[in-house]
Structure 1
Amino acid sequence: MTQLTDLPVIVVGAGPVGMTAAARLAVDGVPVVVVEAEPVPKTDWRASTFHAATLELLQSIGVTDQMNAEGLVAPIYHFRDRRDGLVAAFDFGLLADETAFPYRLQLNQQHLVRMLHDRLRADDHVELLFGSRVTGVAGTADGVTATVETPDGPRELRGSHLIGADGPASTVRRSLGIEFAGYTYPERFLIVSTTVDLSARIPGLAHVNYIADPAQWLFLLRTPESWRAVYPVPPDEPATAATAPDRMQEQLQAVAPYPAGYPIVDFQVYNVHQRIAATFRAGNIVLAGDAAHINSPLGGVGLNSGIHDVMDVVPRIVRIRAGQGDPDAELGTYDAVRRQVATEYIQADTQRNTERLKETDEARRRANQEEMRAVAADPARARAYMRRASLLESVRRFGIGLPPGHTMEVPS
């Protein structure tokens, strides 16, 4: 029978989560095959925030210094109201005694993909199959198989394990028949990016701003390339109308007047969901990132939690391949822990953030404002709030990749 160590690990999806998984496996000396439908690394501007806990984890693959060199450090973020202005400011500097990264790093996800792609394509133990599409996966007696359509024709891959990091429409998840329960918001979200410095148009603006409003909430954040505005598109407004140049210009002018007209360098409109897979594991096949759980972007934790998923499962796969871990216990723990984090932290917090920004009841709006002011004014409460927002709390509570039966709780 083929030994596990004779087979590679198959990673489906070459976005930031899949490429992080491949890079972590490569660091551990595990052969990897990455399968990606796009012909080249995808340039997607959607996710752009890396939290402290994620930057800590990415140190293990030696990419954090490059990210910090190219990214934008944002130690402070604001909760604002579109009518009333600044409500509360939060300073991640309160976490400086706990982490070397007391800030949000703003860096479009495509740059992490580029950095990792540059490294992996030079690694003889990594095979990158771009322009190739997985059509089915299955478990076998000694591992997994994946059927793949490549530019050179069909191919069957054999591996010890498979990580499905192929997004919300995951072929891996669908092939396994795993339910993806949850709901879709009636409104869609639109991201519009401009090179105009919004902080020069709105005095006192932070690099990251969550702005509540009963008619149209707003999320404004700065990246190294641009300022980005995220706002809802009503269910009855066609995407073609919402993304018409005059319409996007009208929306930006409503944020802050700019007589010269805003240059728009990128835009995306997309559906937003709160969904979680019924299981993150089937035999030696695991789901990670958006293939396992998707959520509102308000909190900037979707990409981060996906990276945490693969950083958790890779050490388990390494132990299993080395004969040092029980497969059912290791991968069962991955499923249990990461589903709990996705439910109790990622889903709960992003839903709460979204509902807070779009609240229409005036009394509840005022109560939300007072609560955020009270939290920000109390250093202990503000610290606890930011530990959770930065995902440090969940990592300190559950650990990442701990052997089954081990627990980890670091006092704040």
Structure 2
Amino acid sequence: MSWDPATAAPVNEDHPVVVVGGGPVGMTAAAALAAHGLPVVLVELSPEPRPDWRASTFHAATLELLESIDITGQMHAEGLVVPTYQFRDRRDGLIAEFDFGLLADETRFPYRLQLNQQHLVRMLAERLDRDEHVRLRFGTRLTGLRITADGARLQLAGPDGDTELDASYVIGADGPRSAVRNALGVAFDGFTYPERFAITSTSVDLQELLPDLGHVNYVADPQEWLFILRTPESWRVVWPVPGSLTDEQASDPDRLQRQLQRVAPYAAGYPVIDHQVYGVHQRVAGAFRVGPVLLAGDAAHINSPIGGVGLNSGIHDAMDGARRLVRIAGGDADADAELDAYDRVRRTVAVEYVQADTQRNTDRLRETDDGVRRQHQEDMRAIAADPERARAYIRRVSLLESVQRFGIGRPPAELGAEVR
């Protein structure tokens, strides 16, 4: 039996919108839906809000969207405003600095806000826990999903045992190993990088050791590139882990200390307050929508973290899908057209912006050909020196360009033919 928009169940307590995944994307989707009074059930495998340190950058376009659910004030109270970032070379030092202030006449947020993603998750979980429109089901696993004529039926295993839940619509925001995507049989094509990435956090102030260092730094090097950034809690350093090393070897305290000492000598020794090793992929789901089910965030697309757009584009997915579901629930929209528009818009953005830019950023950092490396340096210097080119570059990396081009939740009739 397949879903039919003509017989779709209305969004109500008996058929809520079910969000699978309680990370920043799922929490954002639930908050956006609840803000319009829609009943929501959020299903999350972890027994409590997840303490994942991985992503920490919120760009201008994302902050504008999050402002609509009234969370940006709390984020700014805990976060760190970073108006510039640097492109550096490990041998040659500073190559170019880019100033988000060039966008001051286009956005209320002409900067990056550095805030570890678990804080947004915590903030939204606390709010949703008090919201009468939302049921939070932590410690609950999705064991099956079947599309029905009027929506979807989910099989769940949790503290209350095995249960079933009927949904009008489903948003799968349950990460790269998405149970929702797998249940739908949607392909997740792409590739996995041969190296893994290590992310290490320390309380040592790297700017005291390297005074010309920015708060956000992309450092090119043919042997071992770096990504160095400041968050409110710590300085974080990302570097590649060769495939010949196990996770245990890559996490050896002596090796971590050697790696950090190569960034900047520190006689007292670096305290390590968090460390993770993880695989990195460039993959996009073959479809972002199947019947009444949408895929969002890492369930729909995963990418290199170089550029800080994975979390941001996932939040854009969540807001785009939520706006469409709000219109559908209000009876003012063609459900099939809205969900198809979500699929086309968000997949186009994932391919043309997220995948393309993060791959380019990563390749630039790890380039081994000296001539190509020098050309990259010249290109970056030339862009930074030209205000108009720098403005266009910053507009793209902050995701303002993709939002201006496609909108977020823009009605199908308003979308141009450029959306595939």
TM > 0.5 fold call: yes
Give the Å deviation of 1:137: 1.1
In structure 1, C-alpha distance between the alignment counterparts of 2:106 and 2:120, rounded to whole Å = 25
Change (3 A) 1:241 1:3: closer
Aligned to 1:85: 93
In structure 2, C-alpha distance between the alignment counterparts of 1:307 and 1:138, rounded to whole Å = 26
Stretches of structure 2 lacking an aligned partner (at least 5 in a row): 1-6
Aligned to 2:373: 365
Aligned partner of 1:5 among 6, 11, 28: 11
Aligned partner of 2:188 among 174, 180, 186: 180
Give the Å deviation of 1:3: 4.1
Contact 1:4 1:143 in 2 (8 A): no
- Confirm or deny that 1:334 pairs with 2:356: no
Give the Å deviation of 1:5: 2.6
- Confirm or deny that 1:318 pairs with 2:326: yes
In structure 2, C-alpha distance between the alignment counterparts of 1:145 and 1:211, rounded to whole Å = 48
After TM superposition, the score normalised by the length of structure 2 is 0.96
In structure 1, C-alpha distance between the alignment counterparts of 2:212 and 2:9, rounded to whole Å = 60
Contact 2:8 2:151 in 1 (8 A): no
Deviates more, 1:77-86 or 1:2-11: 2-11
Aligned partner of 2:33 among 25, 28, 31: 25
Aligned-partner SS, 1:162: strand
Instruction: After superposition, give the CA deviation of every residue in 1:108-127 in whole Å (9 maximum; x if it has no partner).
Output: 00000010011000011100
Aligned partner of 1:142 among 147, 150, 154: 150
- Confirm or deny that 1:285 pairs with 2:293: yes
Paired amino acid for 2:32: R
Paired amino acid for 1:259: A
Give the Å deviation of 1:407: 3.8
Contact 2:46 2:140 in 1 (8 A): yes
In structure 2, C-alpha distance between the alignment counterparts of 1:239 and 1:401, rounded to whole Å = 41
Aligned partner of 2:393 among 381, 385, 389: 385
Aligned partner of 1:237 among 208, 228, 245: 245
Contact 2:25 2:296 in 1 (8 A): yes
Contact 2:87 2:95 in 1 (8 A): yes
Aligned partner of 1:261 among 263, 269, 273: 269
- Confirm or deny that 1:196 pairs with 2:204: yes
Paired amino acid for 2:11: T
In structure 1, C-alpha distance between the alignment counterparts of 2:234 and 2:214, rounded to whole Å = 14
In structure 2, C-alpha distance between the alignment counterparts of 1:31 and 1:55, rounded to whole Å = 25
Instruction: After superposition, give the CA deviation of every residue in 1:332-355 in whole Å (9 maximum; x if it has no partner).
Output: 000000000000000000000000
For residues 38-49 of structure 1, what are the structure 2 equivalents within 5 Å?
38-49=46-57
Contact 1:75 1:102 in 2 (8 A): yes
In structure 2, C-alpha distance between the alignment counterparts of 1:316 and 1:144, rounded to whole Å = 18
Aligned-partner SS, 1:178: coil
Paired amino acid for 2:10: L
Aligned partner of 1:158 among 158, 163, 166: 166
Paired amino acid for 2:57: T
Paired amino acid for 1:268: Q
Paired positions, count: 408
Aligned to 1:127: 135
Contact 1:72 1:223 in 2 (8 A): yes
Paired amino acid for 1:4: P
- Confirm or deny that 1:404 pairs with 2:412: yes
Aligned to 1:251: 259
Aligned partner of 1:297 among 302, 305, 315: 305
- Confirm or deny that 1:97 pairs with 2:83: no
Aligned to 2:4: none
Aligned-partner SS, 1:44: coil
In structure 2, C-alpha distance between the alignment counterparts of 1:2 and 1:82, rounded to whole Å = 57
Identity %: 66
Paired amino acid for 1:122: R
In structure 2, C-alpha distance between the alignment counterparts of 1:71 and 1:293, rounded to whole Å = 26
Paired amino acid for 2:25: V
Paired amino acid for 1:372: M
Instruction: After superposition, give the CA deviation of every residue in 1:17-70 in whole Å (9 maximum; x if it has no partner).
Output: 000000000001000000000000010000000000000000111000110111
Paired amino acid for 1:136: G
Aligned-partner SS, 2:294: strand
- Confirm or deny that 1:349 pairs with 2:340: no
Give the Å deviation of 1:321: 1.7
In structure 2, C-alpha distance between the alignment counterparts of 1:363 and 1:39, rounded to whole Å = 51
Aligned-partner SS, 2:94: strand
Contact 2:220 2:366 in 1 (8 A): yes
Paired amino acid for 2:120: L
Structure 1: 4+ residue segments shifted above 3 A: none
In structure 2, C-alpha distance between the alignment counterparts of 1:320 and 1:140, rounded to whole Å = 18
Instruction: After superposition, give the CA deviation of every residue in 1:358-391 in whole Å (9 maximum; x if it has no partner).
Output: 0000000000000000000000000000000000
Aligned to 1:113: 121
Give the Å deviation of 1:323: 1.7
Contact 1:133 1:148 in 2 (8 A): yes
In structure 1, C-alpha distance between the alignment counterparts of 2:400 and 2:237, rounded to whole Å = 27
Instruction: After superposition, give the CA deviation of every residue in 1:214-257 in whole Å (9 maximum; x if it has no partner).
Output: 00000000000000000000011111011010000000000000
Aligned to 2:235: 227
Contact 2:142 2:156 in 1 (8 A): yes
Contact 1:210 1:357 in 2 (8 A): yes
Stretches of structure 1 lacking an aligned partner (at least 5 in a row): none
In structure 2, C-alpha distance between the alignment counterparts of 1:206 and 1:249, rounded to whole Å = 22
